[in-house]
Amino acid sequence: MKTAISLVSFSSIEGIKKFIEECHSFGLVSHPVFELSYIHDASFLEKLSFLTGKIISAHVSTPAKEYFPNLASFDSSILDSSLRMIRESAMTCAKFGGNLIVLHAGYSSDLTLPVSSKKRLEGLKELKIPPGYESPYQEGINTSEFLDSDFYRRFLLNAVKNLKEASRQSLNEGCVLAVENLNPRLSYLFQTPQEFTMLSEAIPEIGICIDVGHLWLSSLAHDFDYIEGLKTILKTGKVVSVHLHNNNSRLKSDGFKLADEHLSTGDGNIPMRQVIQILKDYSNLNIVMELTKANPWDYVQTVKLFGSDNK
């Protein structure tokens, strides 16, 4: 088991180097390891040569692109572009010594969405989603009924079909492709544990990345037991990576309040002690702290908590 920190937390090379120094000052014997992020462009990556051999995975797209891939699209140009992004991410990851790429597989649309959070929320309004599937409790969140609709299932099954080719291309570059569970934002695919059971049966070579924060959001929106949902995905035997972070999302008397905040594990409402205890039984996982702000003390304590071997 290795415990990494996502480079999404960093905006400068100096910040990364300072983080490494502070980790050692807090007693970390081994070198911190990292996941490449979708926010850094090629020029930034060129300056990361000092991390070669210390990268365990990459989040597609690496290098950064303006838009995320969408393997559910029936538009051949979008699909071809998405496959190129995935293959390029695998090549980049392998160049740094990693062997795993993590993917947001797609959306229930022929379009794709911007990487920028602000532009992405604006882009969601342009997607042609049938009316009646938006939650009455929070704007932009889909109902559980949406996941059972013919509209959603059509795109989901197309994504599964195209993931077979994406996985093949990624493996050819030396990287396992891991699909990440997404939050219940209207149009996002792969929100529930059952979808990952289906995916693992359809593509034996596929990997899975459990995002524990996204799973918490989905459990509240779709009313399933969080811990049982976590165990269901783990039981597929395909989980190779975990994105670890917390958030303050909660149920209310009139519904729920969701926010994908990417907080430190000790901050928020997720039953993190239970989560960590369960994950510690799976020694073959990568644990990736995917945080808004990286804290070297938290990272060192998490490495020790999981007994990680980051050599």
Region of residue 287 (phi > 0: left; psi between -120 and 50: alpha; otherwise: beta): beta
Q: Is the pLDDT of residue 309 over 90?
A: no
* H-only helix segments in the chain: 13-25, 42-46, 76-95, 117-124, 144-147, 150-172, 193-202, 212-222, 226-234, 272-279, 296-306
Counting Cα atoms < 13 Å in the Cβ hemisphere of 295 gives 13
Which residues are bridge partners to 286 per DSSP?
A: 2, 241
Question: What pLDDT does residue 253 have?
Answer: 85
Q: Is the pLDDT of residue 308 over 80?
A: no
Question: What pLDDT does residue 183 have?
Answer: 96
Kindly state whether residue 39 falls inside one of the protein's structural domains. yes
Q: Is the pLDDT of residue 268 over 90?
A: yes
Question: What pLDDT does residue 124 have?
Answer: 77
Question: What pLDDT does residue 259 have?
Answer: 95
Kindly state whether residue 296 falls inside one of the protein's structural domains. yes
Distance CA 301, CA 193 (A): 29
Distance CA 80, CA 57 (A): 23
- Sign of dihedral through CA atoms 158, 156, 119, 209? negative
Distance CA 125, CA 140 (A): 8
Kindly state whether residue 170 falls inside one of the protein's structural domains. yes
Rounded mean pLDDT, 158-180: 98
Q: Is the pLDDT of residue 306 over 80?
A: yes
pLDDT digits (tens, 9 = 90+) for 84-139: 999 999 999 999 999 999 999 999 999 988 888 788 878 777 788 899 999 999 99
Counting Cα atoms < 13 Å in the Cβ hemisphere of 177 gives 33
Kindly state whether residue 311 falls inside one of the protein's structural domains. no
pLDDT tier for residue 307 given thresholds of 50, 70 and 90: confident
Kindly state whether residue 137 falls inside one of the protein's structural domains. yes
Which amino acid type is present at position 187? S
Mean pLDDT (the chain, rounded): 95
Question: What pLDDT does residue 298 have?
Answer: 96
Question: What pLDDT does residue 311 have?
Answer: 65
Question: What pLDDT does residue 96 have?
Answer: 98
The 8-class DSSP code of residue 114 comes to B
**CATH number of the domain that 32 lies in?**
3.20.20.150
Which structural domain, as residue segments, surrounds residue 192?
2-306
Distance CA 151, CA 140 (A): 17
Contacts of 198 (CB under 8 A, 6+ apart): 160
Question: What pLDDT does residue 118 have?
Answer: 81
- Sign of dihedral through CA atoms 168, 179, 98, 49? positive
How many domains would you assign to the chain? 1
The percent of residues above 70 in pLDDT, for the chain, comes to 99
Query: From the CB of residue 297, how many other CB atoms can be counted at a distance below 10 Å?
Result: 13
Q: Is the pLDDT of residue 300 over 90?
A: yes
pLDDT digits (tens, 9 = 90+) for 177-231: 999 999 999 999 999 999 999 999 999 999 999 999 999 999 999 999 999 999 9
Question: What pLDDT does residue 39 have?
Answer: 96
Contacts of 195 (CB under 8 A, 6+ apart): 147, 156, 181, 189
Which amino acid type is present at position 109? S
Q: Is the pLDDT of residue 23 over 80?
A: yes
Q: Would you say 98 and 175 are in contact if contact means Cβ atoms under 8 Å apart?
A: yes
The 8-class DSSP code of residue 31 comes to P
